[in-house]
Chain A
Amino acid sequence: MLRLIAARLKTTIPSILGVIVVTFLLTRVLPGDTAAYFAGPAATPQAIAEIRGKLGLDQPLPVQFVAYVKALVQGDLGQSLTTGQPVTADLAQRLPASAELTLFGLLIAMAVALPLGVLAAVRQGSWIDHLCRVVATAGVSLPVFFTGLLLVYVFYFILGWAPAPLGRLDVFFSEPPRVTGFLLIDSLIAREPETFRAALAQILLPALTLAIFSLAPITRMTRAAMLAVLSADFVRTARASGLSSRTVIGIYAFRNAMLPVVTTLGMVFSFLLGANVLVEKVFAWPGVGSYAVEALIASDYAPIQGFVLTMAILYVALNLAIDILYGVIDPRVRLEG
């Protein structure tokens, strides 16, 4: 098993190296002048040149690249100009926020999408199948910022049930001691049920927004996979052997339909983690997506490079985890090292 993981990791090295080179070059060819942007209003050309020198932007590209890689090897992703902090510190602060939100959203989506998809496949053409189709279509066609604003409008502004969309925690609560960076977990570890409740109340709406968006691919994939499996020979055999419908669907069919569903879940997760910028903006969620976009607007290279690199590594790790999970779900799948 360990040998297998090591072998898998070895194959990812070239892609990570590629990501490093490409993000470095891409950020450099982006239009925009970091120095001019940060020199502020009323800056003279001399002031801009001075800043360019201080940021090392007047050096030739290869020299900048060597400096970047050297720092990277030491675990230094550079300084963000927009927040004024080291990028590693920023990412360490913000990645758990994004991960917590995305995971929570995904859990809600799974809780709804999996049963819905299974039922839609079992009762093909029934009202449940139609409901599944409507949910999937609505989910993908509603842009997340719209769903987000709508939820804020209804549940916060009109009804007043949800707390103010002020980020991860109401201003009058202080964060629990940091263990995992996930507020829901940290507050339980610190045994602060009040804080847990406050954090839960804050995360509910944004997670719901993400869930609505990710419902579609999961439901459709579950339905399609289930349909394929239900028409397979072994299901017919199982039914013919007199097994109850519940056993056939729940144990034999669903398990076999899990492979494509798990793949989709992995894709949806890594996609949401980086792409929920708009949800983060609407709910003032201090995550990595909005961090990267703000850096992009300011031509702030270091955070963009750090963000892309982190995402690439996460993606590799996630794929590895899914591959291993395949073996658990379906022992017939053996990964060749």
Chain B
Amino acid sequence: MAITRRAAIAGGLAAPFVIRQGASAQAPSRSETLLLVQEYGPNSLDMQGIGSSQPVNGVALNCYDRLLRFKPVPIPGGGGHQVAMGELEGELAESWQLASDGMSCTFKLRDAKFHSGRPVSARDVKWSLDRAVSIGGFATTQMNAGSLEKPEQFVALDDKTFRIDFVRKDKMTMPNLAVTIPFVFDSELAIKNSGGDPWAKDFLKNNIAGSGAFRVESWKPGVETIYVRNDDWACGKRPQLRRIIARDIASPSTRRALIERGDADISYGLPPKDFKDLADAGKVNVVGVPIPNGVWGLYLNAQVGPFKDVRLRQAVAWVLPYDKILQASLFGRGVDMSGGPELPKPAWPQPFPYKTNLDKAKELVAAAGGGFSTTLQFDAGNATVAEPMSVLIKEALGAIGINVEISKVPGANFRTEIAKKTNPMTLNRFAGWLDYPDYYLFWTMHGNNSIFNIANYQNPELDKMIDAARFAGDRADYEKTVVEFIKLVNREVPMIPISQPTHDVAMQKSIGGYQFQPCREPDFRYLTKA
């Protein structure tokens, strides 16, 4: 049988162009709704789950509550609030009391309700913290960073009283309760829907079971996430915004056009140049907060290759064009890390004493035996900033006889490459959530050799000081140790700090109440729209 011509042509079109009356019903108005545009959205609704992407922090922040939260303090330049690491306030906790021996803390819970209507009890807190320390992956690593290591540490005394027993005195334990990992689930709801999994991973990945200020109304991974306000939120002032639409817009040019035209209310993650242009044009507000404990650094491999010689590491530090890099790659959206005082302050990051000085650099290279060729690698995902940076570094090092070949490593491969710790030079940005110098150095220069000790730096003397600072009880002792170890890395420079980048957000002039959080995700609870 063959299809005839006529049969093929006979496909008629019945167009149902009949108008149904009153189809466009109650659409919420623009003034109650915030439209956020971001590069990519959450890949899960459970920040404790394995493989959760950066934006999941925002879900944890807005839809769940923690025992404590960071206290907002004004950003020095204006534009909103940031946080102070040492200052905490209660979120689910109404009050808390450290034991006199400093080895435990007891929390009194507020009368809060989950979205399901069930009251939050200390058992829910225990289940959630047990989950965080047991589930593995990033959540457990982060809990351990604050010496929260095993379920036995968490005790539900009665419905409204909860205690954490410390394994050691660690100044990071309390602030670590305010990051986006130890948030509290509705454990009954989770267990009921767990399908036998003790931690209800599948259910919580796709559903919110919390008590936070917002609920997720709809979530289309890779497209959009819609949040609606929880009017019964008990842990803070009721947010002004009723509805948040977060759309994933991959192209930065499109995100910029949307914010400039006034169609989007707030935009995250633009290239530094766009933020600079937007700030200069003045049509929208751009708020930049220097990322606490974050810095762009040039890691010089101290075990393999030419930079084993400390003189060569210093030579590089003396020749980098710090200001040019800040202007040409970060477009001024950062803080210069050169020309600091000889005697450091107990702070991190801070300018190292190096500044561009060609003669000094040449002397050091000559003393170490003259020029050579080497490679510099960076994550292609950071190319917008890292590429101009590396070109400037290549140019500067050429002047002292070091010939640099630039290698751009694709995102998926970058972790593997830095884990090998064999490449002589690596350009990378690392930022720690907990804003302490010893925390930063623990990850990037300690002899335990975490993946972020890209320079492969090994120095027992430094390790001893970092460990001493981590668990120091006395403030003066602590600061003295910090100054000592910063002096040491100033001299040894396994990593040359280049610039502390700012975390920028562009928003319409009608948007107020911006709150910066260490997880760098938008906090809808404080935002307002005029």
Contacts and interface: CB of A to CB of B under 8 A. Distances in A.
Given A93-B220, A172-B30, A47 B254 contact: no
A297 B411 contact: yes
A58 interface: no
A284 interface: yes
Interface stretch (A6-14, A18-26, A244-252, A323-331): A323-331
Contacts of B141: 42-44, 47
A291 B223 CA distance: 11
Nearest to B258: A164
B450 A44 contact: yes
Nearest to A280: B250
Contacts of B19: 191, 193
B137 A164 contact: no
A191 B23 CA distance: 8
A82 to B, nearest CB: 6
A256 to B, nearest CB: 14
Give the contact-size bracket for chain B.
35 or more
Interface in A165-186: 165-167, 171-173
Contacts of B140: 47
A103 interface: no
Contacts of A47: 136-138, 140-141
B254 A43 contact: no
B186 interface: no
Nearest to B226: A171
Nearest to A290: B250
Interface stretch (A148-156, A232-240, A308-316): A148-156
Nearest to A283: B254
Interface string B192-226: 00000000000001100000000000001111100
Interface string B1-24: 111110010000001111110011
Contact of B221 (A37, A51, A84): A84
A83 B411 contact: no
A38 interface: yes
A175 B223 CA distance: 13
A167 to B, nearest CB: 7
A82 B43 contact: yes
A152 B254 contact: yes
A263 interface: no
A36 B51 contact: no
* Residue among A42, A44, A93, A328 with most chain B CB within 10 A: A42
B3 A83 contact: no
A299 interface: yes
B412 A31 contact: yes
B303 interface: no
B489 interface: no
B3 to A, nearest CB: 5
B438 to A, nearest CB: 15
B27 interface: yes
B43 A31 contact: no
User: Which among B42, B220, B381, B415 has the greatest number of chain A C-beta atoms within 10 A?
Assistant: B415
B263 interface: yes
Contact of A166 (B3, B18, B263, B451): B263
Given A36-B415, A331-B2, A193 B450 contact: no
B53 A82 contact: yes
Interface in B251-276: 251, 253-254, 257-258, 260-261, 263-264
Interface string A115-159: 000000000000000000000000000000000010011001100
Contacts of A44: 141, 450-451
A4 to B, nearest CB: 9
Given A156-B261, A280-B250, A282-B251, 19 more contacts: A31-B410, A31-B416, A33-B415, A36-B419, A37-B415, A39-B50, A42-B432, A42-B450, A45-B451, A47-B140, A84-B206, A156-B257, A188-B15, A190-B20, A191-B23, A282-B253, A297-B410, A328-B4, A331-B5
Interface of B: 1-5, 8, 15-20, 23-24, 27-28, 30, 33, 35, 37, 40, 42-44, 50-53, 136-138, 140-142, 145, 205-206, 220-224, 245, 247-251, 253-254, 257-258, 260-261, 263-264, 381, 410-413, 415-416, 419, 430, 432, 443, 450-452
22 contacts: A31-B412, A31-B416, A32-B410, A32-B412, A33-B412, A33-B416, A38-B51, A39-B51, A40-B137, A42-B452, A50-B50, A54-B50, A81-B51, A82-B222, A84-B44, A152-B257, A167-B249, A172-B27, A294-B222, A297-B410, A328-B4, A328-B8
Q: Sorted from nearest, which 3 A-B pairs have the closest CB atoms?
A: A32-B412, A83-B221, A38-B51
